[in-house]
Structure 1
Amino acid sequence: MDKKPLREIFRAQNEPFKVPLPYFNSKRANECMDCVGGCASSCPEKIVFKQPGQVPHLDFAKSGCTFCGACVVGCAECGGVLQESLGGINAVALIDTARCLGHQGVVCVACLDSCKDKAIHFLGMFKPRVDLSACTGCGFCVGVCPTEAILFIERQM
């Protein structure tokens, strides 16, 4: 039996969740492995990243997804794994309360101001919360957070 060292197991558990592209057909993920990344080069927000041998993912450090569909057009030229009929991003935002300024008693509304979908609400003056049913996973809240307190997890269906 081939055992992994504990270090590798723990490292894999601590890797951040890679946010999938909108309209991503996970049943055809293997087709993305050898693709040149037409989705990434087509994204006007420059948030789609594609590494050789990997499925593309979103990085919200600088911007968010506008759901413009440019990635779908770029993907169609490479194989058509992205399909608009599949809906939006299969991820939602969560707030790490240990990092969040509001949860530490500091007034900060950066995430609230950036949320176009009104998915972020405050309990009192502090303590932001994400309404998971309203969150589209667009990611505009991520890059504006001064303490990187906004994380993404896979949306539970």
Structure 2
Amino acid sequence: MSHQTSRRHFLRGGFNRPAVMRPLGALAPMTFEDTCTKCGDCARACPEGIIFRDDEGFPVVNLRRGECTFCNACVEACEPAALVAGTTWDWRAGATDQCLSKTGVQCRTCEDHCDARAIRFKLLVGGRSEPVFDRDACTGCGACAAPCPVNAIHFTHISQPQEDSTC
């Protein structure tokens, strides 16, 4: 998983905190945290029910609860404009070593639920197979995560947003 260092985390000693999955359209981390009022309107507007609050009260997306349909309801509900339409979703799926197929158990649940067809299985010797994720085809929607019986799907932030600093 990629890491980000925001001003808030730096001042609190969190130099290498994992990147946080914010709702679709979230501004760059420092700007987002300065703009978001923690009102919860985005979570209430989400028809999929996948937006929750983190320890600090900011909205985060939990794709283990369901998939994002990219409907923009959260963006439309955001009065302070911490979520902006037209931004890309820079998260992509992958599988951990807990994946049942990697351990020899026949499972293709993630592939069956992927409408983008971004997951294929590479056959290995010994009756095992390994999921291969096509980063270009993957939308990061999370359709593969919730049905995974062992929570082996993880998401990686594929690009770090560049922020202007005024030091």
Partner of 2:59: 56
Are residues 1:138 and 2:141 paired?
yes
The letter for the 2-side match of 1:138 is: C
Partner of 1:85: 86
Normalised by the length of structure 1, the TM-score is 0.80
Structure with the larger helix share: 1
Whether contact under 8 Å (1:24, 1:82) holds in the other structure is yes
Aligned-residue identity in percent: 32
The letter for the 1-side match of 2:82 is: V
Query: Could you list the runs of 5+ residues in structure 1 that have no partner in the other structure?
Result: 1-8
**Secondary structure of 2:76's partner?**
helix
- RMSD between aligned residues: 2.5
Partner of 2:35: 31
Whether contact under 8 Å (1:22, 1:90) holds in the other structure is no
Q: Give how far 1:156 is off.
A: 3.0
Q: Give how far 1:108 is off.
A: 0.4
Normalised by the length of structure 2, the TM-score is 0.76
Whether contact under 8 Å (2:43, 2:49) holds in the other structure is yes
Partner of 1:109: 108
Partner Cα separation in structure 2 for residue 52 and residue 95 of structure 1: 26
The letter for the 2-side match of 1:99 is: Q
Partner Cα separation in structure 2 for residue 150 and residue 53 of structure 1: 25
**Secondary structure of 1:122's partner?**
strand
Number of aligned positions between the proteins: 143
Query: Are residues 56 and 130 of structure 1, via their aligned partners in 2, closer, same or farther at CA, if it must alter by over 3 Å?
Result: same
Q: Give how far 1:126 is off.
A: 2.0
Partner Cα separation in structure 1 for residue 18 and residue 104 of structure 2: 27
Partner Cα separation in structure 1 for residue 155 and residue 82 of structure 2: 22
Partner Cα separation in structure 2 for residue 135 and residue 128 of structure 1: 13
Query: Could you list the runs of 5+ residues in structure 2 that have no partner in the other structure?
Result: 1-12, 161-167
Query: Are residues 144 and 12 of structure 1, via their aligned partners in 2, closer, same or farther at CA, if it must alter by over 3 Å?
Result: farther
Q: Give how far 1:17 is off.
A: 4.8
Partner of 1:6: none
Partner of 1:21: 23
